Amino acid sequence: MRFTKFAGLVLTAMTISASALADDAANATAMVKKAVSYIKDHGKEKALAEFSNPSGEFKKGELYIFVTNVQGKMLAHGANAKLIGKDLMDLKDADGKPFVKEYTDLANAKGSGWSDYKWVNPNTKAIEHKSTYVQKVDDLVVGCGIYNK
């Protein structure tokens, strides 16, 4: 009887977690699409400044927009301004995966999609699994990621 209740609680927790992750993924995708529209409506310079504003409309909790050019140079980052201006094409995650190259290649080849890697969560300061949605617009790669809990 106890095992059945425990199994039920575990299943419920897993369902809630999966549902929250799906909501986070939808929110990340929506934020990227909103950012792409912002670039088209306001121009690249104004958009990059807004995306880098930590209290702007493109930073919501753990969600934030970042933008690289197609060569991997960081042009905007809503959580870590120190990355702006840096060439990150060869940057590797905790497992040695060249994730900037991976998501840039994905955006160049398909226009948009999801990329998985490990990255420091700015809220917890811990290295966590992250899934990032990217979309190419002109010579930019716009992204927003979620931390998989």
Cβ-Cβ contacts under 8 Å for 95 (sequence gap 6 or more): 117, 118
pLDDT at residue 4, as a whole number: 53
pLDDT at residue 16, as a whole number: 37
Assigned token pair, 37: 């529209």
Mean per-residue pLDDT pooled into runs of 10, the chain (149 residues): 49 40 87 99 98 95 95 97 98 97 98 95 89 98 93
The superfamily in CATH containing domain 2-147 is PAS domain (3.30.450.20)
3-state secondary structure of 82: helix
pLDDT at residue 57, as a whole number: 94
Q: Cβ of 34: how many Cβ atoms within 10 Å?
A: 14
pLDDT at residue 23, as a whole number: 85
Q: How many whole angstroms separate alpha carbon 98 and alpha carbon 92?
A: 4
pLDDT at residue 5, as a whole number: 55
